[in-house]
Structure 1
Amino acid sequence: MATPYRRHTYREVPYLLNSRPGPLHHSPLAFAHRGADPRRENTMGAFRRAVDLGYRYLELDVRTSSDGTLVIFHDEELDRATTGTGKLSEKTWEELAQLRVGAEGEFAEELVRFEDLLTTWDDVHLNVDLKDAESVPEFTRIVEKHQAHDRVLAASFNDARRHRVRRLLSHPVATSGGWVATAMIVLLGPLGMMRRLTGRVAEIDCVQVPISHGRIRVVTPRFVQRCHRAGLQVHVWVVDDPLQMHGLLDMGVDGLMTDDAEALADVMRERSVWPQR
């Protein structure tokens, strides 16, 4: 028998389907981290597989090519995950389109443009990590062009990129806190200083954090409670162990990001919140 999900007052955010009335109201969300298939991360093959499994939230990274194309890719360098070498930012899209993505000798997938993924499904939500400053204007242009404000979340370790996204868009999109905003919640929250963070907290809709950062334990029951009292959801990355998934969900976290698509789907199925689309 699944443990009932702990309810609390959510700040209603269109992107976060568990924050408003509907099938996922007050339920935890499942995110496929880079498509949740490490053999072919951030590729259409990985994303399609996740959607077919029942995922409605895809986490991904974007970088900008030399000719301004917004490309779904994590690393600054191409060497680890593709048949290419050098910096992605120094290649044109035409050059990048000739490369293949994969791991352990299985390089079969093509690189993907962000706009192509955004327009593949109209009911899938994209958690977009903006990896370079140049990605901000192209990201906002594409969101405006397709009026996809309710289907994207702008994430970045760099809080300045999030601020710039907010300034460039005609309508707000969901955002998560960068390192500065999140660190202040982690470090100042236990000292009873959350009220001093009101302005920063009001600018974000969730915190997306690892369980620990170095020796510092980030996700604790009190951290989750503080975020909830401030109206923020807590999404945890990257969690692949089912026992750990259950423990975090019992703690009350609002979403999990995983590289093991089947494992998280099974956990959510046990809790009667699957599929999520």
Structure 2
Amino acid sequence: MLVVPAFPQHAANPALPHAKHKTVVIAHRGNHVNAPENTLASTREAIQCGADYVEVDLRTTKDGHLVAMHDAKVDRTTNGMGKIADMTWQEVVELQVFNRNKKTHRIPEFREILAICKGKINIYLDFKDADVTESWKQIKAAGMEHQVVVYLNKEEQYKKWREVAPEMPLMTSLPKEVTNKEQLTAFLNHTHIQVADNITEPELLKAAHELGIAVWLDVQSPTEGPASWNEALHKGVQGLQTDKPAEMVSYIKTNVQ
């Protein structure tokens, strides 16, 4: 049985949402084993399998609607073509999401996903291309203020989130030049995040733990399974993002305390 130590969280930091498991289980783009990624169905599947978070990629239509979509273009996942940013909501809602010729799905609005998740699962919000003020407005309207962590893809997103929602927990990747505790401390003094996703070196992981920063690693891959999960957990991380959330939940319950 692998024992994962708790990590200290500084009182001044925004608190992370409550997680059911000792190691946080994040369903990458929802549980898309049996349902298409970033759909209402894959979100419900993530809830049903008991994951702590559903990862949601957020983008904006031409007329300002917030939608769940990983790619900038709809070509890969739907029967349409073109950029989400160039399409109206009416055009987006008419698209069919590919699902191996089974039940038809569509691209959902963010507000729909928030409604499904409230009180059932946290959201790991991969903030691709959206308006911070409108995103926060919808999060508050859904009563989800304490069930969301925002992943930042650009440095300029940090300032806006801190201005609009100072109590929102934030996550990002560390810059490549951050390689030791002193550099990590300097980075955190400038960018007050609660989670990082790209720390694997033992000394830097130890420093992150001491500084109260959680580390959630991406482990999704074609060969993902217990061996790769065990390897990641032995590094002492606090969370894993997976393409197999149901299997991981079972593994965590059996092997981690």
Task: Work out whether the TM-score is over 0.5.
Answer: yes
Equivalent AA in structure 2 for residue 43 of structure 1: T
Find the counterpart in structure 2 of residue 208 from structure 1: 197
Q: Within the alignment, does 1:196 sit opposite 2:191 as a pair? A: no
Q: Secondary structure at the match of 2:234?
A: helix
Find the counterpart in structure 2 of residue 161 from structure 1: 157
1:144 to 129, 140, 145: 140
User: CA–CA distance in 2 between the matches of 1:48 and 1:145?
Assistant: 20
Find the counterpart in structure 1 of residue 210 from structure 2: 229
Classify 1:108/1:223 alpha carbon distance in 2 versus 1 (closer, same or farther; 3 Å). farther
Find the counterpart in structure 2 of residue 87 from structure 1: 83
Classify 1:106/1:90 alpha carbon distance in 2 versus 1 (closer, same or farther; 3 Å). farther
Asked if the contact 1:206–1:235 (Cα under 8 Å) also holds between the matched residues in 2, the reply is yes
Equivalent AA in structure 2 for residue 174 of structure 1: P
Instruction: Give 1:9 deviation, angstroms.
Output: 2.1
The Cα offsets for residues 119-177 of structure 1, whole Å up to 9 and x where unpaired, read as 12322211111111x432321221232342211111121021132022123x5111002
Equivalent AA in structure 1 for residue 111 of structure 2: E
Find the counterpart in structure 1 of residue 128 from structure 2: 131
Q: Secondary structure at the match of 1:40?
A: coil
Moved more, 117-126 or 250-259: 117-126
User: CA–CA distance in 1 between the matches of 2:118 and 2:207?
Assistant: 34
Equivalent AA in structure 2 for residue 34 of structure 1: R
Instruction: Give 1:109 deviation, angstroms.
Output: 1.3
Asked if the contact 1:71–1:112 (Cα under 8 Å) also holds between the matched residues in 2, the reply is yes
User: CA–CA distance in 2 between the matches of 1:148 and 1:168?
Assistant: 15
User: CA–CA distance in 2 between the matches of 1:87 and 1:195?
Assistant: 39
TM-score of the superposed pair, with normalisation by structure 2: 0.88
Q: Secondary structure at the match of 1:9?
A: coil
Q: Within the alignment, does 1:37 sit opposite 2:32 as a pair? A: yes
Q: Secondary structure at the match of 2:95?
A: coil
Instruction: Give 1:242 deviation, angstroms.
Output: 1.5
1:253-268 matches, within 5 Å, as 253-268=237-252
Find the counterpart in structure 1 of residue 55 from structure 2: 59
Classify 1:153/1:120 alpha carbon distance in 2 versus 1 (closer, same or farther; 3 Å). same
User: CA–CA distance in 2 between the matches of 1:52 and 1:145?
Assistant: 24
Classify 1:260/1:16 alpha carbon distance in 2 versus 1 (closer, same or farther; 3 Å). same
User: CA–CA distance in 2 between the matches of 1:232 and 1:191?
Assistant: 12
Asked if the contact 1:60–1:126 (Cα under 8 Å) also holds between the matched residues in 2, the reply is yes
> RMSD between aligned alpha carbons?
2.2
Runs (5+) with no aligned partner, structure 1: 210-217
Find the counterpart in structure 1 of residue 233 from structure 2: 249
Equivalent AA in structure 2 for residue 57 of structure 1: Y
Question: Which structure carries more helix by proportion?
Answer: 1
Find the counterpart in structure 2 of residue 15 from structure 1: 16
Equivalent AA in structure 1 for residue 211 of structure 2: A
User: CA–CA distance in 2 between the matches of 1:109 and 1:151?
Assistant: 25
Equivalent AA in structure 2 for residue 245 of structure 1: W
Instruction: Give 1:87 deviation, angstroms.
Output: 0.6
User: CA–CA distance in 2 between the matches of 1:262 and 1:46?
Assistant: 12
User: CA–CA distance in 1 between the matches of 2:206 and 2:256?
Assistant: 24
Percent identical among aligned pairs is: 22
Runs of 4 or more above 4 Å deviation: 103-107
Find the counterpart in structure 2 of residue 28 from structure 1: 23
